[in-house]
Amino acid sequence: MRILVIGGGAREHALCHALISDPAVSELHCAPGNAGIAAVATRHEVDALDGAAVAALAGRLGADLVVVGPEAPLVAGIADAVRAAGIPVFGPSGDAARLEGSKAFAKEVMAAAGVPTARSYVCVTPEEADEALDAFGPPYVVKDDGLAAGKGVVVTDDLESARAHARACDRVVIEEYLDGPEVSLFAVTDGVTVVPLQPAQDFKRALDGDAGPNTGGMGAYSPLPWADPKLTDEVMETVLRPTVEEMRRRGTPFSGLLYAGLALTSRGVRVVEFNARFGDPETQVVLARLRTPLAGLLHAAATGELADFPPLRWSDGAAVTVVIAAGGYPEAPRAGDPIEGLDDVAAHDGPEAYVLHAGTALDADGRVVSAGGRVLSVTATGPDLAQARALAYRSVARVRLAGSHHRTDIAARAAGAVPSSPQSPTIE
Ligand code: AMP
Ligand code: GLY
């Protein structure tokens, strides 16, 4: 199988890492990729938001499958253009990707499907926003309706900050605050059959102890030893199947990766958000544990053949990923610094530990340099979370990037590395 992956972050590197180890894959291409992906896939330049250009590239390469990583190309309708060219694509149509592209649309679908989520108002004017903020009270949750590259959500106790964010957006969703630990559950679907992956948890705040600003994600782990073993079944019944069914009923079937961001509140599971693609950094740990060859799974979803696909196989072990971020991330990341120690990880810790590249590039001398806010995602597996975590941090310590920072508490509580309080044993 010849595969073209669209995107160039750690998620796409994780996808390429899994795809290249699938014996069914004969050629792997990635556009645009990054310095790490270059080691496993042939890189191509393409405007990922230009459907005709992506379809033409896929056609030229003779691709049997196109896998679209990020949300912006999906919302722009890239998958429609590739599908129209007769090439199977893993990723929803532009209409179906609205589940991520518009928070108001996602709320509407959830309401129609009876999916539990935070109560919410869609507001266009400042007066409507004020009314909604008043109705819910603090903490305030204000979400830009559209795609905002991880910067669209403000959760604050400060009414003025909440109002300011509402005014800065054209259309906002203001909703009730959900407390409780967050879980990410991904499902692969062809629009009819839904196959859940294993749950993971990510760490959104920049600093240890969930302090500091929100980021794209500073680390993740899987499995969740503290979670109810029936969680996946419950989310399948109450969230994933009804949502896929509702999208099909509307004539805009969702095929690809449906990402349910969940809050486990004292009143039950609630959807925090849907994404229309693999999450980053959760993908790094979920795929690290998947034993079923990935290409066949994604191809079956792309071609409507998931019903006949054998049950997924998983490692019994654990995976942890730790993101190394550039100095200044998330406000003003610095770029262009050389990265050293990558070979040491491979030599001493591989293959259980490996470095996935997020924002990297090659400089004129062919050295790997930083080129983004999140630079690397150091991923490790082990028989349990404690050992996977220890190895991940051992590998992180081998990597040198001037000014970089990372969290030191990824998976710490879940691995039993720090005592958990009896009242909230599960909150990360
Ligand atoms: P989103 O982009 O929707 O994932 O939101 C980013 C983050 O904001 C989530 O991961 C949560 O930590 C937080 N958040 C979003 N919605 C809520 C909510 N209703 N209550 C509490 N926190 C929320
Ligand atoms: N891990 C959060 C996201 O991918 O949106």
- DSSP state letters, 138-185: SSEEEEESS--TT-SEEEES-HHHHHHHHHHSSSEEEE----S-EEEE
From the CA atom positions of the chain, what is the Rg in Å?
21
Which pLDDT belongs to residue 379?
98
pLDDT at site 428: 40
Which residue out of 182, 272, 273, 282 has the highest number of ligand 1 atoms within 8 Å of its CB and is therefore the one to mutate?
272
| Minimal-distance CA residue to ligand 1 atom 3 | 273
pLDDT at 417: 73
Residue 42 in tokens: 């042939």
- Strand boundaries in 254-367, DSSP class E: 256-265, 268-275, 318-325, 339-340, 353-357, 360-362
Closest CA to 200 of 178, 181, 177: 181
Within a domain: 411: no
**Ligand 1: does its nearest atom lie under 6 Å from the Cβ of 235?**
no
Q: Is-contact 294 1, C-beta < 8 A?
A: no
Number of other CB atoms surrounding residue 212 within 10 Å: 15
My answer on whether 131 and 198 are in the same domain is no
Q: What is the CATH number of the domain that holds 303?
A: 3.30.470.20
Ligand 2 interacting residues, C-beta cut-off 6 A: 202, 217, 275, 279-280, 282
Q: How far apart are CA 225 and CA 13, in angstroms?
A: 26
Domain holding 346, by residue range, is: 182-401
Q: Which pLDDT score, from 0 to 100, does residue 419 have?
A: 61
Identify whether residues 159 and 48 lie together within a single domain: no
Tracing tokens 């486990």 back to the chain, one arrives at 264
Q: For CA atoms 370, 204, 411, 212, give the dihedral sign.
A: positive
Q: What is the pLDDT of residues 87-134, one digit of tens each?
A: 999 999 999 999 999 999 999 999 999 999 999 999 999 888 988 898
Residue 421 domain-assigned (yes or no): no
Residue 410 lies in a domain: no
Same domain, 204 and 353: yes
Residues 23 and 128 grouped into a single domain? no
Cβ contact 269:116 at 8 Å = yes
Q: What local confidence, expressed as pLDDT, does residue 3 receive?
A: 98
Number of domains within the chain: 3
Q: Tell me, yes or no, whether 187 and 163 share the same domain.
A: no
Looking at the fold, whether 341 and 201 belong to one and the same domain comes out as yes
Judgement on whether residues 212 and 276 belong to the same structural domain of the protein? yes
Q: Do 275 and 328 lie in a common domain?
A: yes
Residue 407, domain member (yes or no): no
The domain boundary residue, chosen from 40, 74, 91: 91
CA of 151 from ligand 1 middle (Å) equals 11
Q: Do 142 and 242 share a domain, yes or no? A: no
- Whether 428 lines ligand 1, by a CB cut-off of 6 Å, is no
Domain match, 81 and 227 both: no
pLDDT score at 425: 43
**Which of 282, 286, 377, 410 gets mutated to test ligand 2 (max ligand atoms within 8 A of its CB)?**
282
CATH number of the domain that residue 43 is part of: 3.40.50.20
Q: Which residue owns the Cα nearest ligand 1 atom 9? A: 272
Whether residue 171 is found in the same domain as residue 186: no
Question: In this structure, which ligand is nearest to the CA of 205?
Answer: 1
**Residue 15 falls inside a structural domain:** yes
Same domain, 153 and 196: no
pLDDT on residue 146: 83
Burial class for 125, CB neighbours closer than 10 Å (0-12, 13-18, 19+)? exposed
Which residues does 366 contact at the CB level (< 8 Å), separation at least 6? none
> In the chain, which residues have pLDDT < 50?
422-428
Whole-model pTM? 0.94
Taking the centre of ligand 2 as the mean of its atom positions, its distance from the CA of residue 322, in whole angstroms, is 14
Cβ partners under 8 Å of residue 403, min gap 6: 326, 327, 328, 334, 337
